[in-house]
Structure 1
Amino acid sequence: MDSLDLVTEDDLRPSPDRVPRPVHSERLRVPGWWWLVLAAVTALVVAVASILGAPWWLWLLCVVVPALFAWLFVTVGRESIEVEADGQGGGTLYAGRARLPFEAIARSAVVPATAKQAAMGRQLDPEAFVVHRGYVPTMVIVVLDDPLDPTPYWLISTRDPEGLAAALPDTRYS
Structure 2
Amino acid sequence: MDLYRERLWATPWLFISTLLVIPAVILVFAPINLAVGIVLGIAFYVAFVVFLLATAPTIRVTKEELVAGRASIPLRFVGEPRAFRGDAAVLERGQRLDARAWLLIRGWVKPVVKIPVLDADDPTPYWLLSTRNPDRLVRVLDEARLAS
Instruction: Say yes or no: TM over 0.5.
Output: yes
Q: How many residues align?
A: 143
Residues 83-102 of structure 1, C-alpha deviation per residue, up to 9 Å, x if partnerless? 012xxxxx211101111111
Residues 45-90 of structure 1, C-alpha deviation per residue, up to 9 Å, x if partnerless? 7999xxx9x534322332232123212321332x0001012xxxxx
Map of 1:94-133 to 2, 5 A cutoff?
94-133=67-106
TM-score normalised over the length of structure 2: 0.81
Task: Give structure 2 stretches of 5+ with no counterpart.
Answer: none
Task: State whether residues 23 and 41 of structure 2, in contact with CA within 8 Å, keep that contact through their aligned partners in structure 1.
Answer: no
Task: State whether residues 103 and 129 of structure 2, in contact with CA within 8 Å, keep that contact through their aligned partners in structure 1.
Answer: yes
Partner of 1:59: 38
Task: Give the whole-Å Cα distance in 2 for the aligned partners of 1:152 and 1:37.
Answer: 37
Taking every aligned residue pair, what percent have the same amino acid on both sides? Answer: 27
Equivalent position SS for 2:100: coil
Equivalent position SS for 1:168: helix
Partner of 1:24: 4
Are 1:82 and 2:55 an aligned pair? no
Task: Give the whole-Å Cα distance in 2 for the aligned partners of 1:46 and 1:31.
Answer: 23
Task: State whether residues 116 and 139 of structure 1, in contact with CA within 8 Å, keep that contact through their aligned partners in structure 2.
Answer: yes
Task: Give structure 1 stretches of 5+ with no counterpart.
Answer: 1-20, 86-90
CA RMSD of aligned residues (A): 2.9
Task: State whether residues 105 and 169 of structure 1, in contact with CA within 8 Å, keep that contact through their aligned partners in structure 2.
Answer: no
Tell me which of 154, 157, 161 is aligned to 2:127.
154
Equivalent position SS for 2:106: coil
Task: Give the whole-Å Cα distance in 1 for the aligned partners of 2:26 and 2:35.
Answer: 14
Query: Which structure has the greater CA radius of gyration?
Result: 1
The offset of 1:44, in angstroms, is 6.6
